[in-house]
Structure 1
Amino acid sequence: MDERKRDSIVAYLQRRMAEFDITPEALAASIAEDQRRLQAVKYRDASGNSWDGEGAAPQWVVQATSAGQSLDHFLVRREKEPQADKPKSVDWRDDPFAGTRLATIKTEQLQAS
């Protein structure tokens, strides 16, 4: 975006904020509240409806569970932080190819074919 266009958009937003009596502090507080609310979401459907799991279940949850859908289906799964320090270990005792020809093929042979 070029600088003139950016300055034009900023000026427009400042005029609209003044028109509706919106302060930068109120805007920042609103954004922070939205972020907090998004972090509190535990269940979400494909339409974007969400629920924090507290209080009475909303209508979309009641309808889905009445139709036989599990509540776990709508659970929002948060990404776990990767553990960079600890490498994943491999349990070779459960190797299905142990003792077979596949376990003895060298990587050079695989790359050559």
Structure 2
Amino acid sequence: MTQKTENPLKIQTTCGYRDIRKNIRKKSLYMEHPIMARTSYASQKSRLEKEKAKIEKQLQSLQAKQRKPIITSIVRSMRDYGITPEEIAAAFSPRASSRNTDGARKPTSASASKRTVPAKYRHPETQAEWTGRGRAPLWVVEAEAAGTPREVFLIEKVAADATAD
């Protein structure tokens, strides 16, 4: 059974069930079986690595294109305001002062102002030290449970007892 269909261009085409089956058979002979078409791990990996390298190269070129106008803008602003590269380097250096240009102190974050705290308590026998911050160490907890006050372990107290002996 052949069906004649009419298309908008008024061209007659025939499309029958047998024709479709023939075309499918012909194409299937040239198509590889899905199991046979599998590629090895190594070839897939190398193909993907090549694609990755290509994409990374494209990304780098895109970043370079984006950076050029920004650098031009920065240089133009530096010229307009009379800023020298040395001033920029000084602003980025770690030794840059923590003061603004007007002399006011810059606010510092908690992580930037982290410093070591001197020990406040010392165990007289083991010389273990504790700053007095955070959870008390086991030797302080045990001493307090035994009835010894925490002030006995103060470093000034320990130093005074050591010189008195």
Q: Output the TM-score relative to the length of structure 2.
A: 0.24
Larger relative contact order, structure 1 or 2 (CA cutoff 8 Å, min sep 6) = 1
Structure with a larger share of its residues in strand: 2
Structure with the greater alpha carbon radius of gyration = 2
